Amino acid sequence: MFGPDMCGVEHKFHFIIRYRNPNTGVYTEHQAKKTTEPLDSYFTDKKSHLYTLVLSADNSFKMYIDNKLVNSGSLLTDMEPSMIPPKEIVDETDRKPDDWDDREKIPDTNAKKPEDWDETEPKEIPDESATIPSGWLEDEAPMIADPAAVQPVD
Distance of alpha carbon 7 from the chain centroid: 30
Which H or E run includes 41? Answer: helix 40-44
Closest by CA position to 72, among listed 52, 43, 86: 52
Q: What is the pLDDT of residue 22?
A: 81
pTM as predicted:
0.54
Compute the mean pLDDT over every residue in the chain, rounded to the nearest whole number: 89
- Let me know the angle formed at the C-alpha of 81 by 79 and 83, rounded to the nearest 5 degrees: 70
What pLDDT, on the 0 to 100 scale, is given for residue 7?
82
- Residue 43 confidence (pLDDT): 85
pLDDT value of residue 141: 85
Q: How far apart are CA 47 and CA 44, in angstroms?
A: 8
How many structural domains compose the chain?
1
pLDDT at position 24: 84
The reply to whether 103 falls in a domain is: no
Question: Residue 8 belongs to what domain range?
Answer: 2-80
Partner residues linked to 55 by β-bridges: 61
Whether 141 maps to a domain, the answer reads no
Residue 75 lies in a domain: yes
pLDDT at 52: 95
Residue 108 lies in a domain: no
Predicted local confidence at residue 109, as pLDDT: 92
pLDDT recorded at residue 153: 83
Q: What pLDDT does residue 61 have?
A: 94
**Are residues 63 and 32 in contact, defined by beta-carbon separation less than 8 angstroms?**
yes
The predicted pLDDT at position 134 comes to 87
pLDDT digits 0-9 by tens, 121-146:
999 999 999 998 888 888 888 888 88
Give pLDDT < 70 ranges for the chain: none
